[in-house]
């Protein structure tokens, strides 16, 4: 299978679904990471271009930890909008990668505007990727990908439907989070924890809910057509 995760900002994916991506990769699947905004406001001391360049490299280093294909969209941090051109770029990336599964922010439960806009765009265009009369450089994708919404930061407002035990991939997730060194000062000043502590607290909490040491959680939005496994039966 091919799985792509969309994060609104550099480090969103690491906090919320890196363990799941690492697990997919470990099992031999193809994985991609797409970072939508450029993180240019993610510093109290560095200029926009400087911190954006740093955060891009940190995100690339993180993706390399699991051998994930890397997409950098470079839209302005905190000013992401659902426009025609933005939609077309999302469609082009999805047509290039041709995923079976998209992981993205929850458009209905998340509370950050860049997150909800990212989730909304994915929702709006996930069928369009197969439509021939919507033209991009790459040809239409062969199938409509499935969408899974990832957890929110601190789990606020999120109601999990599926849990993934990431205990065996926790160390990899922690290494991916630690790649984002530029955010350590920000996290400690705002929240009093390091990036790895932040991720560990949430992953342990979701693991406690799921009956394992570390977990990540997701929900699947409903749409038509929905796929059903050939051997699927009612309980």
The span from the CA of 92 to the CA of 75, in Å, is 15
- Are 36 and 8 within 8 A, CB to CB? yes
pLDDT confidence of residue 188: 86
Residue 116's domain comprises 2-219
Torsion angle of the four alpha carbons 91, 93, 94, 99, in this order, in degrees rounded to the nearest 10: -170
Residue by residue, pLDDT tens for the chain (235 residues) are 999 999 999 999 999 999 999 999 999 999 999 999 999 999 888 999 999 999 999 999 999 999 999 999 999 999 999 999 999 999 999 999 999 999 999 999 999 999 999 999 999 999 999 999 999 999 999 999 999 999 999 999 999 999 999 999 999 999 999 999 999 988 888 888 899 999 999 999 999 999 999 999 999 998 776 766 665 565 5
Classify residue 129: in a domain, yes or no. yes
DSSP 8-state class, residue 230? T
> What's this model's pTM, rounded to 2 decimal places?
0.94
Classify residue 126: in a domain, yes or no. yes
- E-assigned strands of the chain? 2-7, 30-37, 69-75, 101-104, 146-150, 162-165, 215-219
The span from the CA of 48 to the CA of 171, in Å, is 31
pLDDT confidence of residue 232: 52
Query: Which one, of 110, 33, 112, 109, lies nearest residue 77 by Cα?
Result: 112
pLDDT confidence of residue 44: 86
Classify residue 224: in a domain, yes or no. no
Classify residue 140: in a domain, yes or no. yes
The DSSP string of 75-115 is EPTT-----HHHHHHHHHHHHHH--SEEEE--TTT---HHH
pLDDT confidence of residue 190: 82
CATH number of residue 31's parent domain: 3.40.50.10320
Classify residue 228: in a domain, yes or no. no
pLDDT confidence of residue 229: 62
Classify residue 229: in a domain, yes or no. no
- For the beta carbon of residue 154, count every other beta carbon within 10 angstroms: 14
Classify residue 56: in a domain, yes or no. yes
pLDDT confidence of residue 234: 56
**For the chain, what is the domain count?**
1
The span from the CA of 201 to the CA of 215, in Å, is 11
């Amino acid at each position: 299978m091919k799985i792509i995760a969309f994060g609104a900002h550099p480090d969103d994916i690491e906090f919320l679904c890196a363990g799941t991506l690492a697990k997919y990769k470990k099992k031999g699947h193809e994985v991609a990471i797409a970072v939508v905004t450029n993180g240019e406001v993610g510093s109290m001391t560095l200029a926009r271009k400087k911190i954006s360049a740093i955060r891009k490299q940190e995100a690339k280093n993180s993706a390399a930890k699991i051998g994930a294909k890397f997409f950098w969209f470079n839209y302005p941090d905190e000013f992401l909008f659902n426009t025609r051109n933005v939609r077309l770029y999302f469609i082009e990336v999805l047509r290039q990668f041709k995923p079976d599964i998209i992981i993205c922010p929850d458009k209905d439960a998340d509370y950050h505007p860049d997150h909800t806009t990212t989730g909304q765009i994915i929702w709006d265009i996930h069928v369009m990727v197969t439509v021939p009369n919507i033209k991009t450089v790459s040809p239409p994708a062969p199938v409509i990908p499935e969408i899974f919404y990832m957890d929110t930061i601190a789990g606020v407002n999120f109601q999990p439907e599926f849990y993934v035990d990431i205990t065996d991939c926790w160390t990899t997730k922690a290494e991916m989070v630690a790649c984002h060194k530029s955010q350590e000062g920000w996290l400690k000043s705002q929240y009093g924890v390091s990036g790895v502590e932040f991720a560990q607290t949430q992953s342990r909490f979701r693991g406690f809910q799921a009956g394992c040491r570390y977990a990540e959680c997701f929900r699947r939005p409903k749409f038509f057509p929905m796929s059903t496994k050939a051997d699927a039966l009612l309980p």
